[in-house]
């Protein structure tokens, strides 16, 4: 076992130098984009140059290439999931968060029965993959509560519904606690750095254990040490200069690759939203839609194999646009409050922050299908042991598409059969059949077509 040292691996001097470098001329930019197209690693200066491009034609070209990279590696599939908030107790004072300790409201954590009811609602929406979310509170929401919650979630089976992968987004913790999450079948351990700028970090994390920048920054080292192979990073865009944040996020990924042989499994790009007890006007680094689009494009160019996750914090229009710049995972039908799914059914709403895409999953599914994307409820890689380095090797070999597309089509078919309305059935079956016939590898195509038949005849949970 490695001795884990609380030491920063983020080099802010390199970031400043990269951003101060000359803007790329046309030939240099073309060379950087050619490297990105071949999925070759980009240096910090090259990424900075992509972030600094101003010409509209060049920007359109970058967006196009980013979208093509995602399609080439993962096909047209878009992975679907929903968050599940189980506890809003929190001992931290994060300036931007509705759960902040300074905010006075009736806090709650769900009982195991309440969790099961939320999961039944999520399953009846067709979800198979959840992100478990909780505030940090060692007394009211300790690790055993979280692992009990995971067991409760995995135990619920409503109709043909079941949760097949739980990603967990809880505060930075110890190797022992990460081992407990691993033993209960965690999918990805997700933790947003919020900001890599240590000064801004202290400004926005005014109290509680999360104020410790280094402890937060080194959380994935402990998670990987504990045996968790898939970790998901992210920045809360709006707390500091977005260009520096992108470069720092890439340094974090490089650190994990260097030390553990595998970097981020996913990256999330939450953008700061209005929440209880905070005023967006107090945040000078709010990113515009154009800047946000650049963030996603550059991340896709620099991290071709990493899942990039977009939440319902964004409007349907922006989500549609960003899908064309390399987004590969979307949340759908989300509520961001504890017990929120049942409350929404009862017409109430308490949330951690506001959401801007309020469409139901089925509306999102229809819109994706109309745009030629395959909504995917696939969880096969994790269940087949294709995690960490094994997943990345498959992605880098160019063969991941041979499992992603069939699994996406098969899980979409399950969704349509179990939760689809007449409109979705009418367009969905045709869409799936047409797509399956275009799979270029004959063996994969035949196997997919035969499994599609089996699913139509009532079998479930087939995957490769
Ligand atoms: N307690 C865990 C932690 O400290 O990492 C989980 C945090 S919370 C349930 C998930 C994420 O919501 C946070 O990491 C933060 O990035 C995001 N978030 C909090 N307030 C937000 C806001 N006002 N707008 C957008 N995202 C926000």
CATH code, domain carrying 359? 3.20.20.70
Tokens 């029965």 -> residue? 113
CA distance to 47, 292, 299, per residue, from 288 (Å): 19, 6, 17
Q: CA 95 to CA 98: how far, in whole Å?
A: 9
pTM confidence score: 0.96
Q: Residue 164's pLDDT is what?
A: 94
Q: Is residue 237 part of a domain?
A: yes
Probe residue for ligand 1, chosen from 352, 355, 356, 357 as the CB with the greatest number of ligand atoms within 8 Å: 352
Q: Is residue 47 part of a domain?
A: no
Q: Is residue 68 part of a domain?
A: no
Q: CA 34 to CA 165: how far, in whole Å?
A: 36
For residues 154 and 275, state if they share a domain: yes
For residues 165 and 91, state if they share a domain: yes
The Å distance, Cα 418 to ligand 1 centre, comes to: 33
Q: Is the pLDDT score of 1 beyond 60?
A: no
Q: Residue 295's pLDDT is what?
A: 98
pLDDT mean over 418-422 = 96
- Residue nearest atom 25 of ligand 1, based on CA coordinates: 272
- Of 331, 364, 382, the domain-final residue: 382
Out of 64-68, 319-323, 400-404, pick the least confident: 400-404
Q: Is the pLDDT score of 274 beyond 80?
A: yes
For residues 317 and 429, state if they share a domain: no
- Residue nearest atom 5 of ligand 1, based on CA coordinates: 171
Q: Is the pLDDT score of 347 beyond 80?
A: no
- Split at pLDDT 50, 70, 90, the class of 349 is low
- Split at pLDDT 50, 70, 90, the class of 13 is very high
Query: Count of CB atoms within 10 A of residue 81's CB?
Result: 24
Q: Is the shortest distance between the CB of 169 and ligand 1 below 6 Å?
A: yes
Q: Residue 350's pLDDT is what?
A: 59
> Which ligand 1 atom sits nearest the alpha carbon of residue 97?
20
> Which ligand 1 atom sits nearest the alpha carbon of residue 194?
16
- Of 382, 403, 428, the domain-final residue: 382
The Å distance, Cα 97 to ligand 1 centre, comes to: 6
- Split at pLDDT 50, 70, 90, the class of 3 is low
For residues 418 and 280, state if they share a domain: no
For residues 86 and 179, state if they share a domain: yes
Q: Is the shortest distance between the CB of 353 and ligand 1 below 6 Å?
A: yes
The Å distance, Cα 309 to ligand 1 centre, comes to: 14
Q: Residue 178's pLDDT is what?
A: 98
Kindly report the average pLDDT of the chain as a whole number.
94
For residues 332 and 439, state if they share a domain: no
Q: Is the shortest distance between the CB of 215 and ligand 1 below 6 Å?
A: no
Range of the domain at 448: 388-456
For residues 195 and 327, state if they share a domain: yes
For residues 246 and 339, state if they share a domain: yes
- Comparing 158 with 93, which gets the higher pLDDT? 93
> Which ligand 1 atom sits nearest the alpha carbon of residue 83?
9
> Which ligand 1 atom sits nearest the alpha carbon of residue 274?
23
Q: Would you call 289 helix, strand, or coil by DSSP?
A: helix
- Split at pLDDT 50, 70, 90, the class of 68 is very high
Q: CA 428 to CA 404: how far, in whole Å?
A: 18
Q: Residue 219's pLDDT is what?
A: 98
Q: Is the shortest distance between the CB of 133 and ligand 1 below 6 Å?
A: yes
Q: Residue 208's pLDDT is what?
A: 98
For residues 137 and 185, state if they share a domain: yes
Q: Residue 355's pLDDT is what?
A: 86
Q: Is residue 45 part of a domain?
A: no
Q: Is the shortest distance between the CB of 275 and ligand 1 below 6 Å?
A: yes
As given in the structure block, the two tokens for residue 258 are 């260097």
Instruction: Quick: pLDDT tens for 212-267.
Output: 999 999 999 999 999 999 999 999 999 999 999 999 999 999 999 999 999 999 99
Overall number of domains in the chain: 2
Q: Is residue 6 part of a domain?
A: no
């Amino acid at each position: 076992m490695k001795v884990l040292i609380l030491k920063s691996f983020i080099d802010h001097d390199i970031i400043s130098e990269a951003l101060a470098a000359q803007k790329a001329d046309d030939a240099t930019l073309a060379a950087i984009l050619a490297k990105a197209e071949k999925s070759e690693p980009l240096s910090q200066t090259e990424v900075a140059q992509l972030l600094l491009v101003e010409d509209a034609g060049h920007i359109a070209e970058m967006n196009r290439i980013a979208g093509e990279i995602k399609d080439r590696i993962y096909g047209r599939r878009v992975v679907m999931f929903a968050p599940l908030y189980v506890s809003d107790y929190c001992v931290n004072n994060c300036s931007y968060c509705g759960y902040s300790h300074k905010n006075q409201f009736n806090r709650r954590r769900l009982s195991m029965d309440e969790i099961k009811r939320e999961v039944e609602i999520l399953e009846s929406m067709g979800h198979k993959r959840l992100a478990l979310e909780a505030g940090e509170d060692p007394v009211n929401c300790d690790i055993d509560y979280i692992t009990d919650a995971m067991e409760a979630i995995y135990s619920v089976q409503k109709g043909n519904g079941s949760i097949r992968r739980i990603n967990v987004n809880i505060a930075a913790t110890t190797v022992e606690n990460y081992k407990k999450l691993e033993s209960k079948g965690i999918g990805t351990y997700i933790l947003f750095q919020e900001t890599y700028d240590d000064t801004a970090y202290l400004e926005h994390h005014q109290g509680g254990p999360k104020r410790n920048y280094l402890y937060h920054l080194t959380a994935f080292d402990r998670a990987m040490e504990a045996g968790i192979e898939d970790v998901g990073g992210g920045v809360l865009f709006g707390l500091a200069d977005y260009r520096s944040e992108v470069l720092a996020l890439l340094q974090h990924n490089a650190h994990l690759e260097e030390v553990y042989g595998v970097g981020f499994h996913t990256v999330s790009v939450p953008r700061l939203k209005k929440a209880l007890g905070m005023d967006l006007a107090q945040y000078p680094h709010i990113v515009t839609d154009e800047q946000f689009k650049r963030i996603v494009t550059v991340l896709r160019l620099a991290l071709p194999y990493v899942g990039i996750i977009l939440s319902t914090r964004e409007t349907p229009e922006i989500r549609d646009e960003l899908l064309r710049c390399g987004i590969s995972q979307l949340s759908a039908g989300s509520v961001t409050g504890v017990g929120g799914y049942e409350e929404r059914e009862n017409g109430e709403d308490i949330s951690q922050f506001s959401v801007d895409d309020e469409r139901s999953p089925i509306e999102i599914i229809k819109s994706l299908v109309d745009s030629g994307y395959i909504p995917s409820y696939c969880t096969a890689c994790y269940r087949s042991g294709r995690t960490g380095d094994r997943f990345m090797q498959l992605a880098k070999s160019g063969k991941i598409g041979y499992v992603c597309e069939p699994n996406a089509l098969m899980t979409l078919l399950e969704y349509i059969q179990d939760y689809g309305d007449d409109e979705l059935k009418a367009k969905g079956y045709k869409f799936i059949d047409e797509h399956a016939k275009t799979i270029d590898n004959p063996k994969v195509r035949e196997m997919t077509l035969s499994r599609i038949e089996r699913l139509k005849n009532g079998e479930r949970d087939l995957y490769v």
